[in-house]
Structure 1
Amino acid sequence: MKKLTLVELSNKAHKDFKIKNNAVIDHIAKQHLMNLRATELGQAATCYPVFATKNTHNGFWTFSAMTSFTPNENLFVKNDKFDVIYRPTSIQTFPFYLMQAPSEGNTYTIGILEDQGDFSKTTGEPLFDEKSSPTEGTKRRAQLLDADVQKDIQTAQFSKALDDLGLFKPLDMNVQLADGNSKKIRGLHTIDEDRFQILSIEELDSLRQQGYLMPILAMLISLLQVNKLITLNNQDVERAPIVEVKMEVAKDAVIS
């Protein structure tokens, strides 16, 4: 398999590039977990169950909105439409990505995956106009990515605060199907409600002052959205109906 490499977006090298008509929805349709920043948790919780995962290699925490119980599937995509109220920024910026600027240290620029198959030179949404200026779509994605740099820092600060207080709880999600089969999803974490309940007044006030109480509560409430995923799954006659989904404390944390 050819390794895909980010290339800095250029109005010279990519002046004729267009985003293929179905590239964005095809990408979304494969997003079983959509990346979230801490600032998005409240809005995302109104639509999806939200979880945290920890990278065992670098120790970083990330937050995600779950869209299905199966990798490479998104139950919210129907008839080539993403039928949901809130779209995470990571979806809105596709197919642009942040990358380290090749000519300057510790600075970021916009990159694209030229060879991933999302672009055409004949049809689709242009990246640049006839004067080689960014189109409105390119400007919008660039602005969102520019704001993401600060949001990534805020997310790291938020996750560190939770980790320091021992507020992450590892979960095993057991999905029981009507045909008798079952599957287990591991590597997910949520807020440890028991631990949260016994925080000291000083610890709670510190979380409040940093604006962290709302996203913490949003993550807890979002677990109820698992029922929505079950409903969406069972509405599709081609899928094996789900009888029950149980979430249990994992005996060990495994990154999926």
Structure 2
Amino acid sequence: MAHAILTSDTHRELRVRTERGAELGDAVMTALVVPDEFRRVQDEYPILFRLNHERDAFTPVALLGFETGENLFLAGDRWDARYIPMSIDIQPFLIGGAPDAQGDKQVHVDLGSPRIGAGEGMRVFDVDGMPTPYLEGIAEKLGALDAGWRASGPFVAALRRYELLEPFTLEVTLDDGATNRLVGYHIIDERRLAALDAAALGDLHAAGHLLPIFMAVASTGRINALVARRNRALRG
């Protein structure tokens, strides 16, 4: 990636392609999500927790497909869902600085992204060098994603403290007889959640963790819909 601080002096003519497509980097199996967006994510995608064994850390993700490079929500040049995870929606932009750092952040742009348009796409700055409404919207989403990312650490720590994550393995048999096996992910352990006492539930509620926990639980109901998407893609 060729990251650079976004400035009107350097990037006055920058344009960004906002349509969707595999060639634009949208062919991904998962997308990072943050607890603040779980309510919107769960209405479209299963929310799983991916374990990084080297770092012994969990990251919440939205499941978009069943194998590497598969995004079942891509339909030509559009995204077939009412909500796109923020980590996807803000590309090719990102927040500069350490993820946990406080204070002012800078908007960076990945100049190596296929979304950087050669004379086509949405302008980032107008002819006077002022941010366009498009860039203002991106900056707002970047701020929300940054705040959500910083809140993800305490959220996952609480899940681990109350042992609310359990390994999840899914075997999907498709209409053509093929089988996809999904491993390496965790989901909320509903039995442990139901067994929590009032003090534990009060602690999770006071910290703002209880709602995203229930949203993550509800999201697993979207797995069957994702399987149906895969079967429609096979037939189509």
Q: Same fold per TM (> 0.5)?
A: yes
> Which residue does the alignment assign to 1:53?
50
Q: Quote the sequence identity (%).
A: 24
1:168 paired with 2:179, answer: no
CA shift, 1:105, in A, is 9.5
**1:235–1:179 distance in 2 versus 1, CA, 3 Å:** closer
Partner letter of residue 219 of structure 1?
A
- In structure 2, stretches of 5+ residues that fail to align are none
In the alignment of these two chains, the number of paired residues is: 233
**1:193–1:21 distance in 2 versus 1, CA, 3 Å:** closer
CA distance in 1, matches of 2:104, 2:57: 20
SS in 2 for 1:150: helix
**Are the equivalent residues in 1 in contact too, given 2:174–2:231 (CA < 8 A)?**
no
SS in 1 for 2:219: helix
CA distance in 2, matches of 1:192, 1:32: 23
**1:128–1:81 distance in 2 versus 1, CA, 3 Å:** same
CA distance in 2, matches of 1:151, 1:237: 36
CA shift, 1:106, in A, is 7.2
1:186 paired with 2:186, answer: no
Out of 127, 130, 134, the residue aligned to residue 130 of structure 1 is 127
**Are the equivalent residues in 1 in contact too, given 2:175–2:231 (CA < 8 A)?**
no
**What are the within-5 Å matches in structure 2 for residues 17-56 of structure 1?**
17-20=14-17, 22=19, 24-26=20-22, 27=24, 29-56=26-53
> Which residue does the alignment assign to 1:89?
86
**Given the two structures, how large is their TM-score scaled by the length of structure 1?**
0.82
Partner letter of residue 114 of structure 1?
L
CA shift, 1:54, in A, is 2.5
**Are the equivalent residues in 1 in contact too, given 2:25–2:114 (CA < 8 A)?**
no
**1:186–1:143 distance in 2 versus 1, CA, 3 Å:** same
> Which residue does the alignment assign to 2:2?
5
**1:237–1:54 distance in 2 versus 1, CA, 3 Å:** closer
CA distance in 2, matches of 1:53, 1:80: 28
**Are the equivalent residues in 1 in contact too, given 2:172–2:227 (CA < 8 A)?**
no
CA shift, 1:21, in A, is 5.4
Deviations 1:141-199 (A, max 9, x none): 01211232222221111111111111111111212234443232211110011211222
CA distance in 2, matches of 1:13, 1:109: 15
Out of 134, 137, 143, the residue aligned to residue 146 of structure 1 is 143
1:110 paired with 2:136, answer: no
**Given the two structures, how large is their TM-score scaled by the length of structure 2?**
0.89
Question: What is the root-mean-square deviation in Å for CA atoms of aligned residues?
Answer: 2.3
**Are the equivalent residues in 2 in contact too, given 1:25–1:80 (CA < 8 A)?**
yes
1:177 paired with 2:161, answer: no
